[in-house]
Amino acid sequence: MVWESKYCRKINKKKNFSSVGKSSERNLVQEINEDHPDRTIYRTIAECEQGIPCLNLPKSGRPRVFTAQREERLVGRARNQVGMSSRRLARRYDTTKSTVSLTLKRNGLKYRKRRKCPKYTQGQLLRIPRCCRQLRRVYFADGKSIILDDEKYFTLANSEMKGNYGFYTNNLEECLTI
């Protein structure tokens, strides 16, 4: 009797069955019956006796929504792009929001809220007074004056972008340095 099956390989890792062909089915089931149900063991023995190959054949289940290329395209479109929501991506790829969310989650992408970055670093704050003094000495030494206007002509926070848009990323530190 040929004892080759995916169950048998798992079982053989735990125990060495050199007397498989010599012992009866009942004794074999009693020896193996640690992690596997009896019915599975009997079915496996019957398949081996019939000569059915122990290949892990493709199963007939529900087909995947995304092919590998399409999934890669979805992940590339979502990664580090501000304003890409799972609903917007679902409309673009003609699927459901939950499918997009699960696909992005499976690929390690997480949805992050946008945060305002600080306007100045500590080094810049230390350099500003020194540079201003130098500019005043060089350009305005001969009696010229500066007129400052406090009106805003443009926003530094990109006014076209809504404030609560988020983005998907798998490496937050990389996004913060960009």
For 87-111, how does the pLDDT look when each residue is reduced to its tens digit (9 = 90+)? 999 999 999 999 999 999 999 999 8
* 72 and 42 within one domain: no
**Separation between Cα atoms, residue 98 and residue 100, nearest integer Å:** 5
* 177 and 127 within one domain: yes
153 assigned to some structural domain: no
39 assigned to some structural domain: yes
- 51-55, 89-93, 141-145: least confident range: 51-55
* 91 and 28 within one domain: no
What confidence score (pLDDT) does residue 59 get? 74
CA atoms within 13 A on the CB side of 138: 6
**Separation between Cα atoms, residue 20 and residue 1, nearest integer Å:** 8
| pLDDT average, residue stretch 51-55 | 72
120 assigned to some structural domain: yes
Reported as a pLDDT band with limits 50, 70 and 90, residue 177 is low
- For 52, the token pair is 């059915």
Choice between 178 and 33, residue whose per-residue pLDDT is larger: 33
What confidence score (pLDDT) does residue 17 get? 43
How many other CB atoms are found less than 10 A from the CB of residue 103? 22
Helix (H) / strand (E) element for 123: namely helix 122-139
What confidence score (pLDDT) does residue 72 get? 94
Q: Is 144 exposed, middle or buried (0-12, 13-18, 19+ CB in 10 A)?
A: exposed
* 96 and 28 within one domain: no
* 113 and 28 within one domain: no
What confidence score (pLDDT) does residue 155 get? 55
* 134 and 91 within one domain: yes
Q: What's the pTM?
A: 0.48
* 170 and 108 within one domain: yes
Using DSSP's 3-state secondary structure scheme, residue 25 falls into: helix
Residues 175, 167 contacting (CB under 8 angstroms): yes
- Domain span including residue 16: 6-50
**Separation between Cα atoms, residue 40 and residue 110, nearest integer Å:** 40
Residues 74, 103 contacting (CB under 8 angstroms): yes
**Separation between Cα atoms, residue 85 and residue 130, nearest integer Å:** 44
What confidence score (pLDDT) does residue 137 get? 85
